Amino acid sequence: MQPGDIESVLRENRSFAPAASFLAGARLQPADIEKLRQRAAADHTGFWAEQARTQLQWHKPFTVILDESTAPNYRWFPDGQLNVSLNCLDVHLASRGDAPAILFEGEPGDRRRLTYRELHAAVCRLANALRSLGINAGDRVVIYLPMVPEAVIAMQACARIGAVHSVVFGGFSAGSLRDRIEDAGARLVITADGGHRGGHVIELKAAVDKALEGACATIENVLVLQRAKNAVSMRAGRDLWWHEVVDRQSALCDPAWVDAEHPLFLLYTSGSTGKPKGIQHSSAGYLLGAKLTSQWVFDLQPSDVFWCTADVGWVTGHSYVAYGPLAAGATLVMYEGAPTIPDAGRFWRICETHGVTVFYTAPTAIRALMKLGDEIPARYDLSKLRLLGTVGEPINPEAWIWYHRVIGGERCPIVDTWWQTETGAIMISPLPSAVATKPGSCTLPLPGIDAAIVDDAGNAVSSPEAGGYLVIRKPWPSMLRTIWGDNERYLATYWEKFQNRYYVAGDSAHRDADGYFWIMGRIDDVLKVSGHRLGTMEIESALVAHPRVAEAAVVGKPHDIKGESVFAYVVCRGARPTGDTRAFVDELRNWVSEQLGAIAKPDDIRFADNLPKTRSGKIMRRLLRAIARGEPITQDISTLENPAIVDQLRGVDAGAHS
């Protein structure tokens, strides 16, 4: 799909100015924001250098702001040294040591409160334990934990000793975990016996055992947190209990000084083809982005209780759970489980209980909660909320208005934040005290972010409503540095299209007459299921790994709650299954779920004799997408080997249906 082909049909004219009640207490007033914008526009690198000097505590100050000699592998503040965990924890001990850093609630209802001092001690203990296990700066540590405080403690402990963490979402299967461990060459896995989710225990340790079976030769130890108290098997010499190794360590740990460019973490994300990419982030530039945006966009102040509902397995849980809010000295809420356990009021009850002031979630969650009706949130006191945020996919105006009215009581600004795993921090978003919001638009780029929309030739599109490629024209500190182990792919994926001049986000977008950005969707074939990027390739490979499947093609289909659902076309070995295929369809759906995790499970499976391909052998995904959505077919199908296949794919032909 070319961005030029996309007609933008959405015309949303409503606009919401910041409420006076919000403005009165905001950290940044409109005049401050104007100054930031002007300063950034006048001197891009000078602006970022000032922010880096004033916002971060350096062990060795930098003298070079931006090294472009290896562009587009940019290097920010390259001769400076610091420690990320010191900047998130130690800096608050004197002034806010007894203030709460984390308010935790487990799915079964257990609660814990950690002050900054307690969190600091816990991080130091684990950091010392990691050192005692021989983990050095630069070593990779895979973290596969439920949403418990130890997930943040583990990330911060890695940062403290300069180890590179790679968090793998607890919903991913053993196979996905194995691929990520192997790609990263990790020495240690930090996991738990299990975690609570949806009323069940997710057996994380068992998945680790399966992942390591006959694979992952670089792993020396598995550190196991006792959480759900489910039975696990511990392999002598390899597996260690967290409480046995960590609790006896000293609560003081000297931070390792690392170069600004030292990798802080890898986070694997899906592209349209090939295996997941290990997005590599830096230490200083990343932290600067996470901290500044926590202050600018979420207006986080010491009195705030911030709840970002994202799991630490996604980038949102890195920047707006584990790093940004702590660097900003706020209090954060962590919740382990599902939004509907024990009932559909759980999220709002958590907001009431902990006095949440700033709430950040995904459109898919908002839609799901909206479906349950207005009566449920109405039962809870949400009056402490002062700001709401969304991220992950475009939010439909209906859900936006519901969020504004029912959750925000019409007084909370909504920040619709556009960014990506690769950008590290929020890029395009309202600054809530100064930018009027429009439902469905992420509004304007933040100071220091040069976002634009360009046509195929790289020229800025001239007419307001015209769609094009969303690009970033100047480097920014929190940008990804490379793809772990595959710099060629980094160059090809993000830079080649416009000859290394612009970072290509992979989204199409347009701007309205006020210059507001409206994201229209991904340009490639990546699906967005419940806000999570899934590559078609991985799901197709999983299907093809089934002994009866010869070929598979996967597309996204719009879904009320999930945003998109997985729709798979499957070609079997031998004859096409006909008649009652339900049992086989279930088998395939569960198969994918076992291989990749429940999130990738197809909602629909349709069988065909073959797949429509172009002359060059590329699967015609646009055609498959149109068929999955029941849309009229507009593309040229005259080149198809077997035009009758279209009826079969549509399911008009008997027996093709799932």
Q: Tell me whether residue 161 or residue 388 sits nearer to ligand WT7 (CB atom).
A: 388
> Residue 627 in contact with residue 646, Cβ under 8 Å?
yes
The DSSP code for 638 is T
Footprint of ligand WT7 on 129-148 (CB under 6 A): none
Least distance CB 528 / ligand WT7 (angstroms): 6
Q: Tell me whether residue 242 or residue 307 sits nearer to ligand WT7 (CB atom).
A: 307
Region near ligand WT7 per CB under 6 A, out of 223-231, 246-254, 416-424, 640-648: 416-424
Q: What does the buried/exposed string (b/e) look like for 381-403 if buried means 16 or more CB atoms within 10 Å of the residue's CB? A: ebeebbbbbbbbbbbbeebbbbb
E strand residue ranges, 40-123: 66-67, 75-76, 81-82, 100-105, 111-115
Q: Residue from 76, 77, 242, 419 that binds ligand WT7 (CB under 6 A)?
A: 419
Q: Is 150 in the site for ligand WT7 (CB under 6 A)?
A: no
d(CA 451, CA 471): 6
Q: Residue from 86, 224, 382, 442 that binds ligand WT7 (CB under 6 A)?
A: 442
Fill in the per-residue mask, 311 to 340: x = in contact with ligand WT7 (CB under 6 A), - = not in contact.
----xx------------------------
Residue showing the smallest CB distance to ligand WT7 in the complex: 421
Q: Is 533 in the site for ligand WT7 (CB under 6 A)?
A: yes
**What angle, 0 to 180 degrees and rounded to 10, lies between the N-to-C axes of helices 44-55 and 284-296?**
90
Q: Tell me whether residue 398 or residue 636 sits nearer to ligand WT7 (CB atom).
A: 398
Q: Is 424 in the site for ligand WT7 (CB under 6 A)?
A: no
Length of the chain in terms of residues written: 658
Q: Is 396 in the site for ligand WT7 (CB under 6 A)?
A: no
Question: Where do we find the tokens 């225990």?
Answer: 201
Nearest to 442 by CA among 453, 457, 455: 453
Q: Which residues have CB under 8 Å from 39's CB, separation 6+?
A: 46, 47, 50, 447
Q: Which DSSP string corresponds to 154-176?
A: HHHHHHHHT-EEEE--TTS-HHH
Q: Tell me whether residue 324 or residue 506 sits nearer to ligand WT7 (CB atom).
A: 506
Edge-to-edge strands, sheet with 517-522: 451-454, 468-472, 503-511, 517-522
Q: Tell me whether residue 394 or residue 475 sits nearer to ligand WT7 (CB atom).
A: 394
Region near ligand WT7 per CB under 6 A, out of 12-20, 126-134, 390-398, 626-634: 390-398
Q: Residue from 393, 525, 538, 564 that binds ligand WT7 (CB under 6 A)?
A: 393
Q: Is 441 in the site for ligand WT7 (CB under 6 A)?
A: no
Q: Tell me whether residue 417 or residue 581 sits nearer to ligand WT7 (CB atom).
A: 417
Least distance CB 314 / ligand WT7 (angstroms): 6
Q: Tell me whether residue 239 or residue 393 sits nearer to ligand WT7 (CB atom).
A: 393
Q: Tell me whether residue 119 or residue 288 sits nearer to ligand WT7 (CB atom).
A: 288
Q: Tell me whether residue 224 or residue 369 sits nearer to ligand WT7 (CB atom).
A: 369
d(CA 10, CA 1): 18
Footprint of ligand WT7 on 471-530 (CB under 6 A): 505-507, 519, 522
Q: Tell me whether residue 264 or residue 649 sits nearer to ligand WT7 (CB atom).
A: 264
Q: Which residues have CB under 8 Å from 172's CB, separation 6+?
A: 180, 313, 596, 597
Count of alpha carbons within 13 angstroms of residue 477, beta-carbon side: 32
Region near ligand WT7 per CB under 6 A, out of 103-111, 226-234, 419-427, 495-503: 419-427
Rg (CA), the chain: 24
Least distance CB 418 / ligand WT7 (angstroms): 4
Q: Residue from 81, 357, 396, 417 that binds ligand WT7 (CB under 6 A)?
A: 417
Q: Is 293 in the site for ligand WT7 (CB under 6 A)?
A: no
Least distance CB 208 / ligand WT7 (angstroms): 24
Q: Which residues have CB under 8 Å from 316's CB, separation 6+?
A: 308, 310, 360, 391, 392
Q: Which residues have CB under 8 Å from 634's CB, separation 6+?
A: 626
> Residue 618 in contact with residue 548, Cβ under 8 Å?
no
Q: What does the buried/exposed string (b/e) look like for 110-126 if buried means 16 or more CB atoms within 10 Å of the residue's CB? A: eeeebbbbbbbbbbbbb
Fill in the per-residue mask, 262 to 291: x = in contact with ligand WT7 (CB under 6 A), - = not in contact.
-------x----------------------
From the number of C-beta atoms within 10 Å of its C-beta (0-12, 13-18, 19+), residue 172 rates as buried
**Binding interface with ligand WT7 (CB under 6 A):** 269, 315-316, 391-394, 416-421, 442, 505-507, 519, 522, 533
